[in-house]
Chains A and B, each alone.
Chain A
């Protein structure tokens, strides 16, 4: 159907698309269907899965991945990866803990210093990317390895062990804990504050993505960077901003890690970057960029949470979790591809 034909036939239009058709066009659809399937599955095989208290645990597990899946999804829509996201969380926690301990400063000072350092790490990733024009896979793989080494090396050098010293008796600790690691009970359900952080981030990211100029630029930077540049979109600035958003969320996650356990193991976080990417991809983000949503990443993280805790409630050997995750990733990606094909054909 060319535009000319449409003109020729005057006002004749297609009937408005049905609600089902519109839903098919959403990137999250595949993830929502998958989430419903996983929920039903564990409801049947695990008796305790449907208890309200179990939901609190599932949501907590989802939120720890979800907080990072949101910026990783935005970054993926912008056409890039960040393999250093997992260890950056640990780095952020280590900086905060060790700065407060060594300087015997208020923990809030450590939290502030950690924010600056983590944002600088994100900016490093972003600026390296736009300056060298190397693939983000290589650059962030480099950052990932360097941070892994730094986390272990510096922690041993400063604390003498692979874990940091406890900072639970330091000034400012209780208030920091309130912000990053508190929990409260509603009825019989124990809810962690990370769930609020997670949902808040999803709302903000969705707003940015769909209703701001920056969001338009993120889609364009991932969809066709050259075309975006040709019409005046600051592609480089957008990408650096995205890496700093990942760093900002790594800071939130890192502070949660620190203030919920008050010590940090320096080897933690390795491998988590893939969980974030998996959540984003299950949520409908296209590996090649230019398509996806923040809500989808939340649904992806929720699937992850249900699977990781559901296996425990079903009293299976948790070793099967990895297999389950891999199978789910493949299924979700296939489903997404199929849905997208249907959606594009329906237009």
Chain B
């Protein structure tokens, strides 16, 4: 919590103002699998201390985009630069070495392992040499506790199996891990899908904390409400192509929601629905709730339950 407050001041006013190069920039990126054109001509920018949201319905190409950024698949056409340098990844390890950490929705953790073992999995610190080379258990435990604390997660026991944590907490541990291991760009794949309102708020808060720590964040979601709470830039995908790209100051939540649901199609749908229900309620309301089909509780203006002054939206 203290960290969120402290970094807020330095985080908001256009960080690292002297370097114009974005951390990650995609320009006109395309990807085909055989004759299926999964992604066509998509561009986006990720800056340090900012959150770029990628919005789209199912099948819009969000997962293809994430796979390209994370290095699981190379792109076919277009440019992919990291801090101004052209790259083409052929494995997730390469992307990881360049500071791009991806947190997948399901792949984040090994449920039966304790939190501290999960935290250091794949990058375990050791001490001693030869046959006595062993895990530095004390340091691993302490570091896990501190790193989580810095993100505002205060675990009672880092020895508990991570599967006993809630879905939101697990996402947060995965985010804290990426931050601790020096990621420059954090790619989050639907971190709030399948979470309740309260838990979503918690995850968004840690996403904002990562941003305030100076990371560039790519937030993939199909929930415009969550995106608008924390996002600085919005890229909308539709059927594999980019259907819009906005800065936060250029668009309202309603505008974003409408555009995501596909402006004219939505008008048509609203029209149809109001005809079937003669006593059509407020048009605006119907539009909003229809536009976010996968949101269980569509109007969630304040999902962070224990709201404190340093909430994400105040920085916008």
Q: Which A residues fall within an 8 A CB radius of B?
A: 2-4, 6-8, 13-14, 17, 207, 211-213, 215-216, 219-220, 223-224, 226-228, 230-233, 286, 290-291, 344, 347
- Closest 5 interchain pairs by CB? A231-B122, A223-B110, A232-B122, A224-B110, A211-B134
Q: Which of B151-159, B233-241, B256-264 contacts A (4 or more CB under 8 A)?
A: B151-159
The smallest beta-carbon distance between A245 and chain B, in angstroms, is 15
CB < 8 Å: which of B112, B137, B161, B169 contacts A211? B137
**B93 at interface by CB-CB < 8 Å:** yes
Q: Are B134 and A228 in contact (CB under 8 A)?
A: no
Contacts of B9 in A (CB 8 A): none
The smallest beta-carbon distance between A27 and chain B, in angstroms, is 10
Q: Are A232 and B169 in contact (CB under 8 A)?
A: no
- In chain B, residues 157-182, which have Cβ atoms closer than 8 Å to a Cβ of chain A? 157, 160-161, 163-164, 166, 168-169, 172
**B135 at interface by CB-CB < 8 Å:** yes
The CB with the most chain A CB atoms within 10 A, among B124, B166, B169, is that of B124
**B121 at interface by CB-CB < 8 Å:** yes
Complex CA gap A207/B131 in Å reads: 10
The 30 listed contacts between A and B (C-beta, < 8 Å) are: A2-B198, A3-B152, A4-B198, A6-B155, A6-B156, A14-B156, A17-B157, A212-B126, A212-B133, A213-B124, A215-B135, A216-B113, A216-B117, A216-B121, A216-B124, A219-B112, A219-B113, A223-B113, A224-B110, A226-B107, A228-B121, A228-B122, A230-B102, A230-B104, A231-B121, A232-B93, A233-B122, A290-B113, A344-B164, A347-B157
CB < 8 Å: which of B110, B152, B198, B202 contacts A228? B110
The smallest beta-carbon distance between B205 and chain A, in angstroms, is 8
Chain B interface residue bracket vs A: 35 or more
Complex CA gap A17/B172 in Å reads: 25
Contacts of B160 in A (CB 8 A): 347
Q: Please, what's the 1-or-0 string for B101-124, where 1 marks a CB less than 8 Å from any CB in chain A?
A: 010100111111100010011111
Contacts of A3 in B (CB 8 A): 152-155, 169, 172, 202
The smallest beta-carbon distance between B147 and chain A, in angstroms, is 13
The CB with the most chain B CB atoms within 10 A, among A8, A13, A223, A344, is that of A223
Complex CA gap A219/B124 in Å reads: 13
- In chain B, residues 128-145, which have Cβ atoms closer than 8 Å to a Cβ of chain A? 133-135, 137
Contacts of B135 in A (CB 8 A): 211-213, 215-216
**B309 at interface by CB-CB < 8 Å:** no
Complex CA gap A262/B108 in Å reads: 53
- In chain B, residues 32-55, which have Cβ atoms closer than 8 Å to a Cβ of chain A? none
Smallest Cβ-Cβ distance to A9: which chain B residue: B154
Contacts of B109 in A (CB 8 A): 224, 227
* A3-B154, A7-B1, A220-B110 as given contacts; A233 in contact with B121, CB under 8 Å: yes
Q: Are A223 and B124 in contact (CB under 8 A)?
A: no
Complex CA gap A233/B123 in Å reads: 8
Complex CA gap A224/B161 in Å reads: 13
Contacts of A347 in B (CB 8 A): 157, 160-161, 164
Complex CA gap A345/B69 in Å reads: 39
Contacts of B108 in A (CB 8 A): 227
Contacts of A8 in B (CB 8 A): 306
The CB with the most chain A CB atoms within 10 A, among B113, B133, B155, B198, is that of B113
Complex CA gap A14/B156 in Å reads: 8
The smallest beta-carbon distance between A223 and chain B, in angstroms, is 4
